[in-house]
């Protein structure tokens, strides 16, 4: 009797043991896969690196292509005299006086045995120097070969006296939902950290990476994991880890990696020539918010608004205030949409755009031209302290910009607009976030060159009790809604 019971119980116990073993495996991973992954990890780890950078605490860089992605301007309610306004404008900072801090900022992986490494653009941007630490603990100085801010990809290089192990790309187009993957990186400086998970979604996009598709996955990544490899169970790179979604700052299982198949052409360009080429219009645009829309003719509901148009060439047909609605039949709802549509266009071509001007829709042909990816430092010269007389209107004291004022402010010689010298506390201008040193470029869709231009625009808008102003600050342009009291 006891023997029969044991025969019945033993299989059940064995099944329970197996079930317990499997519960401790990562979601989507089978026991047989763990043997495979261990050998894959052993081969992949030597080709992964930790990246340490030195960044001046005051250093700042901004890509030309990113300038158009606008943010709300900070608010101020202080009143300033003309001299105080000029003193408020940004001055050239002495970068050498700042104390550099070494930060274990990111990760990367070796793609060529002579020391070429792939990482994220945001890992290396603004670095004054950079060190790469290999899996054996040896560290080497690194140089940036090239980077692309829009794609958030960069290639760096170290000079070593021997050949290095490498990782190769797989086919990210063949990934399937639920497929097991591994992430290798240096979260918080802990080099060679391996985490596992499964593919959660494909074809994602975020505000920080508008032009390339992202792979959403479960593998935990944290600060310092950026630029690390996302690999399949054959040890092939299918993505470059770049971001997490985290309301509270920690990992909650929503991680993103740039799809390998889309990253490869970018990396090849960076390896070959140190920069990438993509299509551009030579215009700057801003998303059309509801607040801005209410101050424009016809109150348009969709599209992006032109805030800087070319002064010459084919696309000079665009005016500040024009609204781009679609590109080649595809809807444009944000700057990211436009960037994504133009990114693959690497040769000169005329493309049909639908636009709105003064409330009327029309179709125009715009010239898309190849443009290089470039990162430029923000450096604003200290203005001179020459005096001028301003004009008070709409809660602001303004001054027309002439060539002399342009030179003293370090602005382009052909800069047009009205310099804000003072902002009245609690005025509509103050509540909108305008401050001394800002430049009014346009009121609604009309350029503002003289004080009369501005007075006329404000007078016409008094019935609406608000006006949309195109404001320039430190080279960036934004439309803001200003209430008229």
Q: Give the mean pLDDT of the chain.
A: 74
- Which is catalytic among the residues 152, 282, 337, 438? 152
Closest CA to 287 of 315, 318, 325: 325
Neighbours of 52 (CB within 10 A): 21
197: pLDDT strictly greater than 90 = no
Contact call for residues 483 and 428 (beta carbons, < 8 A): yes
Average pLDDT over residues 353-376: 80
Three-state helix/strand/coil letters over 115-152: CEEEECHHHHCCCCEEEEECCCCCEEEEEEEEEECCCC
pLDDT band at residue 67 using 50, 70 and 90 as cut-offs:
very low
Q: Which residue has the higher pLDDT, 88 or 424?
A: 424
326: pLDDT strictly greater than 70 = yes
The answer to which of 307-321, 325-339, 359-373 has the lowest mean pLDDT is: 307-321
- What's the pLDDT score for residue 394? 65
- Residue 293's SS3 state is helix
Q: Which CATH superfamily is domain 383-483 in?
A: PDZ domain (2.30.42.10)
- What's the pLDDT score for residue 209? 60
141: pLDDT strictly greater than 70 = yes
The answer to which of 80-84, 104-108, 139-143 has the lowest mean pLDDT is: 80-84
- What's the pLDDT score for residue 110? 94
Percent of the chain surpassing pLDDT 70: 72
Contact call for residues 199 and 215 (beta carbons, < 8 A): yes
- What's the pLDDT score for residue 264? 92
DSSP code of 47? G
Dig out the tokens for 174 from the structure.
Answer: 């063949």
14: pLDDT strictly greater than 80 = no
- What's the pLDDT score for residue 165? 94
- What's the pLDDT score for residue 207? 63
Residues 370 and 390: their CA atoms lie apart, in Å, by: 42
pLDDT band at residue 325 using 50, 70 and 90 as cut-offs:
confident
Tens-place pLDDT, residues 79-94: 334 444 444 333 332 2
Q: Which residues contact 136 (CB under 8 A, 6 or more apart)?
A: 46
Which range among 163-167, 306-310, 324-328, 331-335 has the greatest average pLDDT? 163-167
Residues 71 and 93: their CA atoms lie apart, in Å, by: 23
Do domains 278-372 and 383-483 share one topology? The answer is yes
- What's the pLDDT score for residue 30? 52
Average pLDDT over residues 205-228: 79
- Which is catalytic among the residues 107, 121, 122, 293? 122
8: pLDDT strictly greater than 60 = no
- Which is catalytic among the residues 186, 200, 225, 226? 226
Residues 470 and 442: their CA atoms lie apart, in Å, by: 5
Asked about 129 being catalytic, the answer comes back as: no
Residues 345 and 280: their CA atoms lie apart, in Å, by: 8
List the chain domain ranges.
23-57+98-276, 278-372, 383-483
- What's the pLDDT score for residue 109? 95
Closest CA to 198 of 174, 217, 224: 217
- What's the pLDDT score for residue 451? 77
Tens-place pLDDT, residues 270-285: 998 888 888 888 788 8
Average pLDDT over residues 425-437: 79
Dig out the tokens for 221 from the structure.
Answer: 């990544």
74: pLDDT strictly greater than 50 = no
98: pLDDT strictly greater than 60 = no
Average pLDDT over residues 120-146: 87
The domain defined by 23-57+98-276 carries CATH number 2.40.10.120:
yes
- What's the pLDDT score for residue 414? 76
The reported pTM is: 0.59
- What's the pLDDT score for residue 33? 53
- What's the pLDDT score for residue 156? 93
- What's the pLDDT score for residue 139? 92
Average pLDDT over residues 298-313: 77
Residues 458 and 258: their CA atoms lie apart, in Å, by: 47
> Tokens 């709300």 appear where?
72
Ramachandran angles phi, psi of 129, nearest 5°: -160, 165
Asked about 121 being catalytic, the answer comes back as: no
Asked about 213 being catalytic, the answer comes back as: no
163: pLDDT strictly greater than 90 = yes
pLDDT band at residue 22 using 50, 70 and 90 as cut-offs:
very low
- What's the pLDDT score for residue 119? 94
Residues 182 and 225: their CA atoms lie apart, in Å, by: 12
Q: Which residue has the higher pLDDT, 329 or 293?
A: 329
> Tokens 């187009």 appear where?
173
- What's the pLDDT score for residue 208? 60
310: pLDDT strictly greater than 90 = no
- What's the pLDDT score for residue 81? 41
Neighbours of 272 (CB within 10 A): 11
Q: Which residue has the higher pLDDT, 373 or 129?
A: 129
Dihedral sign from CA coordinates of 41, 42, 44, 45 = positive
Closest CA to 337 of 318, 324, 349, 320: 324
The answer to which of 215-229, 369-383, 409-423, 456-470 has the lowest mean pLDDT is: 369-383
Residues 459 and 463: their CA atoms lie apart, in Å, by: 8
- What's the pLDDT score for residue 35? 55
Neighbours of 263 (CB within 10 A): 25
- What's the pLDDT score for residue 56? 45
Average pLDDT over residues 167-175: 91
The answer to which of 257-266, 292-301, 469-478 has the lowest mean pLDDT is: 292-301
- What's the pLDDT score for residue 164? 95
- Classify domain 278-372 at the CATH topology level: Pdz3 Domain (2.30.42)
């Amino acid at each position: 009797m006891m023997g029969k019971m044991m025969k019945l119980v033993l299989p059940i116990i064995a099944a329970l043991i197996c079930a317990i073993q499997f519960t401790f495996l990562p979601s989507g991973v089978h026991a047989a896969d763990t043997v495979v992954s261990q050998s894959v990890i052993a081969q992949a780890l030597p080709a992964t690196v930790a990246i340490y950078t030195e960044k001046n605490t005051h250093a700042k860089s901004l890509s030309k292509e990113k300038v158009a992605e606008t943010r709300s301007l900070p608010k101020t309610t202080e009143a300033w005299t003309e001299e105080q306004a000029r003193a408020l404008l940004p001055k050239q900072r002495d970068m050498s006086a700042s104390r550099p801090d070494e930060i274990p900022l990111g990760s990367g992986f070796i793609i060529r045995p002579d020391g070429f490494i792939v990482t994220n653009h945001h890992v290396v941007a603004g670095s004054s120097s950079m060190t790469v630490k290999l899996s054996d603990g040896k560290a080497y100085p690194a140089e940036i070969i090239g980077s692309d801010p829009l794609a958030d990809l960069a290639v760096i290089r170290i000079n070593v006296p021997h050949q290095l192990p490498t990782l190769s790309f797989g086919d990210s187009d063949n990934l399937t939902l639920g497929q097991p993957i591994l992430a290798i990186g240096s979260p918080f400086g802990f080099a060679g950290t391996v985490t596992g998970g499964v593919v959660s979604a494909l074809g994602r996009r975020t505000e920080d990476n508008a032009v390339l598709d992202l792979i959403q996955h479960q593998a935990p990544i944290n600060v310092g994991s950026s630029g690390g490899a996302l690999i399949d169970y054959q040890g092939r790179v299918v993505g470059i880890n770049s971001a997490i979604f985290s309301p509270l700052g920690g990992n909650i299982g929503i991680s993103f990696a740039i799809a390998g198949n889309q990253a490869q052409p970018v990396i090849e360009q960076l390896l070959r020539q140190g920069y990438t080429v993509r299509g551009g219009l030579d215009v700057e645009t801003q998303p059309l918010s509801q607040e801005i829309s209410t101050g424009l003719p016809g109150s348009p509901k969709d599209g992006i608004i032109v805030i800087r148009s070319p002064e010459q060439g084919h696309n000079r047909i665009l005016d500040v205030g024009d609204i781009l609605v679609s590109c080649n039949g595809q809807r444009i709802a944000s700057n990211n949409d436009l960037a994504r549509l133009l990114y693959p266009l690497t040769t000169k071509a005329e493309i049909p755009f639908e636009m709105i001007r003064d409330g009327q829709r029309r179709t125009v042909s715009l010239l898309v031209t190849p443009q290089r990816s470039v990162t430029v430092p923000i450096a604003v010269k200290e203005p001179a302290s020459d005096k001028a007389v301003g004009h008070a209107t709409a809660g602001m004291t303004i001054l027309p910009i002439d060539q002399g004022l342009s030179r003293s402010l370090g602005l382009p010689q052909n800069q047009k607009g009205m310099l804000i010298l003072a902002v009245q506390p609690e005025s509509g201008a103050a509540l909108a976030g305008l401050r001394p040193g800002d430049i009014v470029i346009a009121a609604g869709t009309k350029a503002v060159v003289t004080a009369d231009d501005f007075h006329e625009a404000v007078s016409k808008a008094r019935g609406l009790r608000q006006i949309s102003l195109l404001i320039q600050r430190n080279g960036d342009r934004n439309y803001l809604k200003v209430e008229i009291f």
